[in-house]
Amino acid sequence: MHSKERIRLYDLAMADPSVRVSPHCWKARFALAHKGLEADLVPWRFHQRGSAESGTATVPYLFDGDQLISDSWRIAVYLESCFPERPSHFGSPDAVPLARMINSWIDLTVMPLLGRVVIPDVFEALDPLDQPYFREARQKRFGITFEDLRAERESWSLKFLDSLAPLRRQLSDNPFVSGTAPGYADYCVMGAFMFARCTGNSNLISRADASVVAWNDRMLGLFGGLGRSAPVVI
Amino acid sequence: MHSKERIRLYDLAMADPSVRVSPHCWKARFALAHKGLEADLVPWRFHQRGSAESGTATVPYLFDGDQLISDSWRIAVYLESCFPERPSHFGSPDAVPLARMINSWIDLTVMPLLGRVVIPDVFEALDPLDQPYFREARQKRFGITFEDLRAERESWSLKFLDSLAPLRRQLSDNPFVSGTAPGYADYCVMGAFMFARCTGNSNLISRADASVVAWNDRMLGLFGGLGRSAPVVI
């Protein structure tokens, strides 16, 4: 049950704490905005992971009063069940599993490619205290040094753009992934696009198909320009 | 509006006309079965493409009386709008665009990889009259000869299995892609799996994650074993 206090969303911050790049945190921010909920965005950094307060090793997580919800998908489900009187980001119940599948497509097919383009830029922008952990963990995950990733940048960029083929077709037929209005499936995709934008890689998005670029522009304008006004890495 | 006559579905046939491998035709067959509709399956071959009767160059297409509906997605939408009193394969209207997106994921991300594994087997099984056209068109599309594709078979098999990562996660959390019961998004994925099965590549599917293999087994049993009882290439 929702507490009367403001929700606190823990969101990865860079060395400049106004810059927030995490794709999964962006999903949660768009879901909150869709519900018309204001939340306090608490800056979180990797060296705080597993602290006593959250007990989680990843962001986003949120506190609603003393209730902890972690993982962007669980946050989306929680907000939907806790605020049924507010606009739904899932639509009807039988659309929920399909949104989940599209979320998995972004996380497991698109993000590994985008990550290989953008991760070295995240590293540069991080709080220096976060850099040693981040370098070690990500180089291990991707099995390659950041320096070698930089050298392969264009090749991964092309693979990322290719992976958007289903999105290109969807947005040729519909203004939004979810149809005539944006919903959680759009916010899942937009999380990845904000990851590119906020790490200074808007030029990568602008190379996508025209229908995708136009959708990105519509998405940046939602909720008073939530995406467009977000600070980016200089 | 639905005619009182039986629907005729035009479906790609191999040299053995009982063998039907087309993934898109399988989508239409599952959608018809979901609606509880019986249809006459008319064998179609590539050398009939663009004939006066259909005016289309691809299958599936169906005739409901003298009304022609081509393209598997349009068939799915047509059946839903024409038979609203029968079980819905889309669920609610706001699930339709999300099913479309999952269809595009299968068509544009998964199928190009599976196609590179399976296409040489399709060629072998085709009516000899279809083989010259098929070889030329597919070698052009993929930019590689069938002989070279065969040599790369294991590499494309691994890429196909990797591309199922979103499906693996979905089916770890849900019995079906569409949630608790199968729907059109499942039939889109199953179209690809029937393509593998009917071309004699069930062993490829059996290498997928356990959750995917178990789902495939459930899907094969639907509608009185529609998938399981389908003839396959010997």
- What type of residue is B45? R
Query: Under CATH, which number does the domain B93-225 receive?
Result: 1.20.1050.10
- Closest alpha carbon to B71 in B1, B123, B9, B141: B9
| Residue-level pLDDT at B52 | 64
| Tally of residues, chain A | 234
Mean pLDDT (whole number) for A9-13: 95
| Residue-level pLDDT at B138 | 95
- Closest alpha carbon to A34 in A172, A227, A202: A227
Q: Strand A61-64's sheet: what is its strand order?
A: A39-44, A7-12, A61-64, A67-70
In tens, the pLDDT along B175-187 reads 999 999 999 999 9
Tell me how close the Cα of B7 comes to any Cα of chain A, in angstroms. Answer: 28
DSSP state of A63: E
B12 - beta bridge partners?
Answer: B44
B100 pLDDT above the threshold of 70: yes
Q: Are strands A7-12 and A39-44 parallel, antiparallel or unpaired?
A: parallel
Mean pLDDT (whole number) for B127-143: 96
CATH top-level class of A9-82:
alpha beta
A55 pLDDT above the threshold of 70: no
A51 pLDDT above the threshold of 90: no
| Residue-level pLDDT at B234 | 85
| Residue-level pLDDT at A28 | 98
In the stretch 168-197 of chain B, residues with CB closer than 8 A to chain A read 169-170, 173-174, 176-179, 183, 185
Tell me how close the Cα of A110 comes to any Cα of chain B, in angstroms. Answer: 10
* CATH 1.20.1050.10 residue window(s) in chain A: 93-225
In tens, the pLDDT along B102-127 reads 999 999 999 999 999 999 999 999 99
- Closest alpha carbon to A25 in A38, A49, A36, A41: A41
Q: Which residues of B6-23 are buried (b: 16+ CB within 10 A; e: fewer)?
A: ebebbbbbbeeeebbbbb
Residue B185: list chain A partners with CB under 8 A: 98, 101
Pull the structure tokens for residue B64: 């409901």
Pairs of residues, one from chain A and one from chain B, whose beta carbons lie less than 8 Å apart = 101
Contact A106, A191 (CB under 8 A): yes
Domain B7-82 bears CATH identifier 3.40.30.10: yes
Contact B208, B172 (CB under 8 A): no
In the stretch 111-150 of chain A, residues with CB closer than 8 A to chain B read none
Q: In whole angstroms, what is the distance from residue A206 CA to residue A19 CA? A: 21
Q: Would the CB atoms of B107 and A166 count as touching at under 8 Å?
A: yes
* CATH 3.40.30.10 residue window(s) in chain B: 7-82
Cis amide linkage into residue A17, ω under 30° from 0: no
Q: Is the ipTM of this complex over 0.85?
A: yes
Pull the structure tokens for residue B221: 């049993």
Tell me how close the Cα of B4 comes to any Cα of chain A, in angstroms. Answer: 32
Average pLDDT, rounded, for chain B: 95
* CATH 3.40.30.10 residue window(s) in chain A: 9-82
